[in-house]
Amino acid sequence: MIAKGEENMRIYTLSTGDVVYRYYKSIVIVFKDKRKVLSTSLQNGGYQEDLTAVFNEDCNPGAGLACTLKAPTHEEHLRIIADELGIDPNFSSGMSTAASMNNVAIQRESYEGLTVTAIVTGGIEVNGGRVGDPTTYYQPIEKETLKKPGTINIMLVIDGDLPEGTMVRALVTCTEAKTAALQELMAGSNYSQGLATGSGTDSTIIITNPTSPLYFENAGKHAKVGELIGITVKKAVKEALKLETGLSPNDQHSVLRRLKRFGINEEGLWQCYIRKGVIKRHKAQFSDYISQLNGNSLMITYTSLYVHLLDQLAWELLSAEEVVQAGNDLLELACKLTNIVHSPMQKVLQQEIILAWEDMLVRSIQQKFDC
């Protein structure tokens, strides 16, 4: 991990001998020799063999402000950034993000002579989504503004020589590893009730070393290259998300965090409480009890199991009737925990199932206040 506040510095030396720098709100890798690069960037993206540097830039002008491009298109913006960084725009490739470069995560794994290094910045609180979520984007947006910049940007350096097709396979493995990290954190989509698989603006740059005596034709899950990609990327993605927004297993150990993707939050629970009758307590008292309930270990466990029933319903792994039956069992356990009477749900619609859990939480608060 890189110390915060060290704005302009050499922060890492890769096994290839290439140096990683952080300056002008960017992470820059300067190549000391010939490299093969596969990039999702608009600036010299795709497969390239003549690049001399790659970069990841923080385009965030400040808290609460949109990332404004310095040119009519994103590609032109990246070329301007490259020039400002003192690297040739014609022989470099870059990515943009709103994540701070001070929160970069670097993870390295080796096996015999092979070393794989992942350099990651990330944030999905604003832009995290699940592949296949409904979208509204079709026509071009205003090009001077880069909207919803929450992004996981990955620079993956493989200190070995890979043919072009295997580099593409490495990109697939890298993407799978990113998604696995999000699944293990149970990070929710901001656009559906599903678990996130990434953000809408993720970018990746794969760098390999054609001067290496090591030559690999497989970067999938059965190969050691793929294994090292998986380990480094998962670790680095998790570390970057924790550094940027606090997203971590500890942060997710929360009733409200587990329910966030289903639209249940403290304000919604308060409004539901008001609708149910006479307000007997001030909102501060309500919030205090919500805080206690939110951190209750058994309630977190029951909530986690309950929402996973909804996932399996959406994935057609369980029928609605099966979900209602198991959900009622969990509701009964939660009711016993909070000393309220269990009211079995009857409906099998997904929204009604999640509202039954919301009702249980609100009734438990009422019971607490009536004591």
Could you read off the pLDDT of 66-120 as tens digits, one per residue?
Answer: 777 889 999 999 999 999 999 999 999 999 998 999 999 999 999 999 999 999 9
Whether residue 177 is found in the same domain as residue 290: no
Element (H, E) at 30: strand 26-30
What proportion of the chain, given as a percentage, has pLDDT over 70? 90
Expressed as residue numbers, the domain containing 322 is 255-370
- Is the predicted pLDDT of residue 183 greater than 90, yes or no? yes
pLDDT in tens, 207-245: 999 999 999 999 999 999 999 999 999 999 999 999 999
User: Is residue 3 included in any domain, yes or no?
Assistant: no
What proportion of the chain, given as a percentage, has pLDDT over 90? 69
Q: What does the pLDDT average to over 11-28?
A: 96
Whether residue 200 is found in the same domain as residue 271: no
Measured CA to CA, the distance from residue 78 to residue 94 in angstroms comes to: 6
> Which tokens is 309 given?
């029933």
- Is the predicted pLDDT of residue 4 greater than 70, yes or no? no
pLDDT of 150: 57
Q: What does the pLDDT average to over 50-77?
A: 87
pLDDT of 31: 98
- Of residues 201 and 114, more confidence is placed in 114
pLDDT of 173: 97
- DSSP assignments along 308-353, one per residue: HHHHHHHTTSS-HHHHHHHHHHHHHHHHHHHT----------HHHH
Q: What does the pLDDT average to over 251-267?
A: 94
- Cα pseudo-dihedral 260, 262, 268, 269, rounded to 10: -90
- Is the predicted pLDDT of residue 344 greater than 90, yes or no? no
Which of 59-73, 88-102, 261-275, 343-357 has the highest average model confidence (pLDDT)? 88-102
Task: Using the 3D structure, point to which of 246, 277, 302 is the last residue of a domain.
Answer: 246
pTM for this entry = 0.90
- Is the predicted pLDDT of residue 273 greater than 50, yes or no? yes
Whether residue 265 is found in the same domain as residue 225: no
- Cα pseudo-dihedral 228, 231, 232, 237, rounded to 10: 150
Element (H, E) at 297: helix 297-314
Mean pLDDT (the chain, rounded)? 90
pLDDT of 8: 61
pLDDT of 351: 78
Whether residue 35 is found in the same domain as residue 183: yes
pLDDT of 144: 45
pLDDT of 171: 98
* Total structural domains within the chain: 2
Task: Using the 3D structure, point to which of 221, 246, 271 is the last residue of a domain.
Answer: 246
Whether residue 228 is found in the same domain as residue 289: no
pLDDT of 143: 45
Whether residue 26 is found in the same domain as residue 58: yes
| Phi, psi (rounded to 5 degrees) for 274 | -65, -45
pLDDT in tens, 127-182: 888 888 887 665 555 544 444 445 899 999 999 999 999 999 999 999 999 999 99
- Is the predicted pLDDT of residue 7 greater than 70, yes or no? no
Task: Using the 3D structure, point to which of 218, 246, 274 is the last residue of a domain.
Answer: 246
pLDDT of 352: 84
